[in-house]
């Protein structure tokens, strides 16, 4: 019953999206009522079908194939709900839901001055919506039923039963779909050749900021999941699925910064319009790579060649239309405002180019195995060595420029003044490197470079903050203008990046790993800790059985710090086994223990990691996201003031 309703709601969404496409072609103000009907109708019916699918999952309606394949009566309620988007069909429906919410927000931009522009944007958005709805209805309908009703479901991959993973896809999808709005705005701008003189960049900015913030949070949660759940000791593996999210992130980072240049100086317009197209195309290409099965990855969803063909055709149409439009119209957006290399916009452009090149090399590394396979039929894997060798050397100059950029002024720079401003940061960075070198006696060059870069960023942030406060106190009567607030979100986000670099450097350069077979009462030294294997017991969880090891951790002074209890879980329903990592975290390091196979006679395979500074990765990302949210708030305020 619910599934039939859900299916009809999905078809209703399809009709509404067609209505939206048709009414948006008419540029008459009175038509807005039909547009309202289309947009709210689309939102309501998509919401209905999404919650009906959720209802099917929660009530374990196994006549629905999607529920049968992905759920089980013994699954905890939270994971029954997150199971809705833990599979291909359901995740596409979630994508659709986010798309129609974004669509609604675009509709909310309507005002007297921009009706043509918003109509055009809604029309492009309707094309994207129709594309995805047809994809769902033709190749991946989550409401498909089967004639026999099984007594129970096939369960759910236990490794996906994790709270971080439950909210990871929705956040990523907000990011991807936010970029669809950016894409539509870019197409509408080029199409209309800006007749109304619409400040399109002001409309684009909140969507870019939102997409970028949510992508950042989504990628970080994916990493958190990998770190806490996979038990491989690391948090980033250059997996194709991770790369598929990283590429749009890199481009939206570039977009975010060049949009500021457009806003301030009206230069780089054509470049921004191109980035807007590419960022969304890459999101869809990422989806294609993951869902079509041409790349194999730990994350790969159900393989189905028709899905791949469909997405490829969709990308082909979307991409050729938008890029041909760009080839034809972009010359209208070429600015005459040339600027010097040594200026705020110059630094932004340099970093933009670096981001695009990094994105290109990640794309190349991700697809290179496929290309090699065409010509040689060999299967190769391009892993960490390639990405570390290409991405890191390119990112280093970007970080150096990132530190200095916010201190440069627009257009023209007084180089003496700038030098005076960055002098404290240069000194501070050198001092920190020396202190670090002396106190740890480390000759590890990548480590020292990483620490140097982090202190470079952080000290420059502090200098910027100091200069801002001084400027503000000089003209006290101005109080805090909205622009200054906006400036502060940059400071917050850059501070987060500095902390992130500390975490990345610490955990990748100084990670220690000890893999050994241990029997009960065996001891192992790692870093300055003594790990004692005390006991191993059987325990039962809600839907699994587990072997739980007890490891007592002593410090140098033989004082006990903590007891870590990694588990080896067996889920009887799916016959899956997972290992539950046990971690002790403080601000300086994580102790990370994974219990592997074994028995009491021969001992158990135990992997112990000493991961320095990992927690700063999560703190850094959190601060970046806070910066992003604060920028989002400011941009929405600017938009509200404009539309009043």
Partner 1 sequence: MRKFIFISPIIVFFCIIFIFLYLLITKSDPSELPSALINQKAPKFETLSLLSEKNFLYEKEFNHDLKIVNFFSSWCIPCSAEHKYIDLLSKEKGIKIIGINYKDDPKKALQWLDNLGNPYSDVAIDSNGDIAINWGVYGIPETFIVNYNNIIQYRLAGPITKKNYEAFYQQIIKNK
Q: Which residues bind partner 1 (CB under 8 A)?
A: 68, 146, 148, 150, 270, 274, 277-278, 281, 285, 288, 292-294, 303, 305, 308-309, 312, 315-316, 319-320, 323-324, 326-327, 330-331, 367, 370-371, 373-374, 575
CB of 407 to partner 1, least distance (A): 31
Q: Which one, 226 or 274, has the nearer CB to partner 1? A: 274
- Cβ at position 303, least distance to partner 1 in Å: 4
Q: Which uninterrupted H or E stretch holds 531?
A: strand 529-540
Compute the least distance from the CB of residue 320 to partner 1, in Å.
7
Report CA 611 to chain centroid distance, whole Å.
Answer: 23
Question: Looking at beta carbons only, is 302 or 435 nearer to partner 1?
Answer: 302
Q: Which is nearer to partner 1, 148 or 439 (CB)?
A: 148
**Whole-number minimum distance, CB 290 to partner 1, in Å?**
13
Place of tokens 């609604």: 104
Query: 309 or 563: whose CB is closer to partner 1?
Result: 309
Q: Which is nearer to partner 1, 308 or 603 (CB)?
A: 308
Q: Which residues, including other chains, have CB under 8 Å from residue 485's CB and lie 6 or more apart?
A: 630, 634
Smallest distance, Å, CB 212 to partner 1?
Answer: 21
* Residue 315 beta carbon to partner 1: minimum distance, rounded to whole angstroms: 7
- Least CB distance to partner 1 at residue 155 (A): 12
- Closest CB to partner 1 among 311 and 546? 311
Residue 379 has a CB neighbour count (10 Å cut-off) of 10
Spatial separation of the C-alpha atoms in residues 102 and 43, rounded to whole Å = 9
Pick the closer one to partner 1 by CB: 370 or 431.
370
Residue 66 CA: distances (Å) to CA of 4, 48, 145, 177, 452: 13, 17, 8, 24, 51
Q: How far apart are CA 312 and CA 68, in angstroms?
A: 29
Would you say 496 and 627 are in contact if contact means Cβ atoms under 8 Å apart?
Answer: yes
How far apart (Å, rounded) are the C-alpha atoms in residues 311 and 317?
A: 10
Distant-in-sequence, close-in-space partners of 416: CB < 8 Å, separation ≥ 6: none
Nearer to partner 1, 150 or 446 (CB): 150
| Nearest residue to 500 (alpha-carbon basis) of 625, 590, 407 | 625
Longest C-alpha distance within the chain, in Å?
81
Closest separation in Å from C-beta 539 to partner 1: 23
CB of 398 to partner 1, least distance (A): 22
What is d(CA 264, CA 499) in angstroms, rounded to the nearest whole number?
29
Minimum CB–partner distance for residue 312 and partner 1 (Å): 6
Question: Which has the closest alpha carbon to 89: 299, 315, 293, 307?
Answer: 307
Contact 279, 251 (CB under 8 A): yes
Q: How far apart are CA 85 and CA 94, in angstroms?
A: 6
User: Whose Cβ is closer to partner 1: residue 85's or residue 271's?
Assistant: 271
- Nearest approach, Cβ of residue 319 and partner 1 (Å): 5
Q: Of 316 and 383, which CB lies nearer to partner 1 in the complex structure?
A: 316
Q: What is the 3-state secondary structure (H, E, C) of 5-66?
A: HHHHHHHHHHHHHHHHHHHHHCCCHHHHHHHHHHHHHHHHHHHHHHHHHHHHHHCCCCCEHH
CB of 244 to partner 1, least distance (A): 14
Tokens of 114: 């921009």
Name the residue among 296, 288, 294 with its Cα closest to residue 314.
288
33 vs 309, beta carbon nearer partner 1? 309
Helix (H, G, I), strand (E, B), or coil: what is residue 466? helix
Give the up-direction half-sphere exposure of residue 39: CA atoms within 13 A in the CB hemisphere: 24
Least distance (Å) between residue 146 CB and partner 1: 7
Name residues whose C-beta falls within 8 Å of residue 156's C-beta, 6 or more positions apart in sequence: 70, 71, 72, 75, 79, 83, 86, 574
Q: Which distant-in-sequence residues (6+ apart) come within 8 Å of 139 by Cβ?
A: 304, 306, 307, 310
> Closest approach of Cβ 153 to partner 1, in Å?
11
Closer to partner 1 at the Cβ: 61 or 590?
61
Tell how strand 523-526 and strand 582-585 pair up. Answer: unpaired
Number of Cβ within a 10 Å radius of residue 232: 15
Closer to partner 1 by CB, 165 or 278: give it: 278
Nearer to partner 1, 331 or 475 (CB): 331
């Amino acid at each position: 019953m619910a599934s039939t309703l859900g299916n009809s709601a999905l078809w209703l969404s399809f009709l509404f999206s067609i209505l939206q496409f048709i009414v948006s072609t008419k540029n008459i103000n009175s038509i807005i009522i039909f547009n309202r009907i289309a947009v709210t109708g689309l939102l309501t019916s998509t919401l209905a079908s999404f919650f009906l699918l959720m209802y099917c999952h929660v009530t374990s309606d196994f006549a629905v194939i999607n529920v049968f394949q992905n759920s089980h009566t013994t699954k905890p309620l939270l994971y029954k709900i997150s199971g809705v988007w833990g599979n291909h069909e359901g995740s596409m429906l979630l994508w659709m839901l986010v798309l129609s919410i974004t669509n609604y927000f675009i509709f909310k931009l309507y005002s007297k001055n921009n009706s043509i522009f918003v109509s055009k944007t809604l029309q492009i958005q309707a094309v994207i919506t129709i594309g995805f709805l047809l994809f769902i209805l033709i190749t991946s309908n989550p409401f498909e039923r089967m004639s026999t009703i099984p007594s129970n479901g096939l369960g759910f991959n236990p490794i996906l039963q994790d709270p971080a993973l439950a909210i990871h896809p929705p956040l990523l999808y907000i990011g991807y779909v936010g970029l669809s709005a950016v894409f539509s705005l870019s197409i509408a701008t080029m199409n209309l050749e800006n007749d109304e003189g619409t400040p399109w960049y002001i409309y684009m900015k909140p969507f870019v900021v939102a997409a970028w913030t949510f992508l950042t949070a989504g990628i970080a949660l994916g990493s958190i999941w990998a770190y806490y759940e996979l038990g491989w000791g690391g948090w980033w593996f250059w997996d194709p699925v991770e790369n598929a999210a990283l590429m749009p992130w890199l481009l939206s980072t570039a977009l975010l910064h060049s949009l500021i240049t457009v806003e301030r100086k009206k230069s780089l317009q054509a470049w921004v319009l191109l980035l807007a197209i590419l960022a969304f195309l890459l999101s869809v290409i990422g989806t294609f790579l993951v869902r079509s099965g041409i790349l194999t990855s730990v994350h790969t969803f159900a393989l189905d060649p028709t899905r791949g063909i469909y997405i490829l055709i969709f990308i082909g149409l979307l991409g050729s239309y938008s890029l041909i439009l760009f080839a034809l119209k972009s010359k209208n957006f070429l600015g005459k405002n040339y600027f010097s290399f040594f200026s705020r916009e110059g630094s932004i452009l340099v970093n933009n180019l670096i981001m695009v090149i990094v994105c290109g090399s990640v794309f190349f590394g991700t697809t290179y195995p496929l290309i090699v396979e065409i010509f040689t039929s060999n299967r190769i894997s391009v892993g960490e060595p390639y990405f570390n060798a290409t991405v890191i050397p390119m990112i280093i100059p970007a970080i150096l420029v990132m530190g200095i950029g916010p201190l440069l002024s627009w257009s023209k720079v007084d180089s003496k003044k700038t030098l005076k401003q960055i002098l404290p940061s240069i000194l501070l960075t050198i001092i920190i490197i020396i202190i670090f070198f002396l106190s740890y006696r480390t000759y590890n060059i990548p480590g020292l470079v990483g620490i140097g870069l982090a202190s470079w960023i952080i000290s420059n942030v502090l200098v910027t903050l100091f200069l801002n406060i001084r400027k503000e106190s000089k003209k006290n009567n101005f109080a805090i203008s909205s622009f200054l607030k906006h400036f502060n979100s940059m400071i917050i986000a850059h501070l987060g990046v500095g902390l992130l670099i500390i975490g990345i450097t610490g955990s990748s350069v100084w990670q220690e790993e000890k893999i050994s077979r241990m029997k009960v009462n065996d001891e192992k030294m790692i870093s300055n800790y003594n790990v004692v294997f005390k006991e191993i017991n059987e325990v039962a969880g809600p839907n699994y059985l587990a072997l739980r090891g007890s490891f007592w951790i002593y410090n140098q002074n033989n004082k006990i710090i903590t007891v870590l209890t990694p588990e080896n879980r067996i889920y009887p329903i799916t016959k899956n086994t997972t290992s539950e990592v046990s971690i002790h975290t403080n601000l300086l390091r994580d102790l990370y223990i994974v219990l592997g196979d074994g028995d009491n006679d021969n001992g158990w395979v135990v992997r112990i990691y000493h991961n320095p500074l990992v927690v700063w990765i999560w703190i850094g990302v959190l601060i970046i996201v806070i910066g992003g949210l604060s920028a989002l708030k400011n941009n929405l305020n600017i938009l509200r003031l404009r539309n009043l």
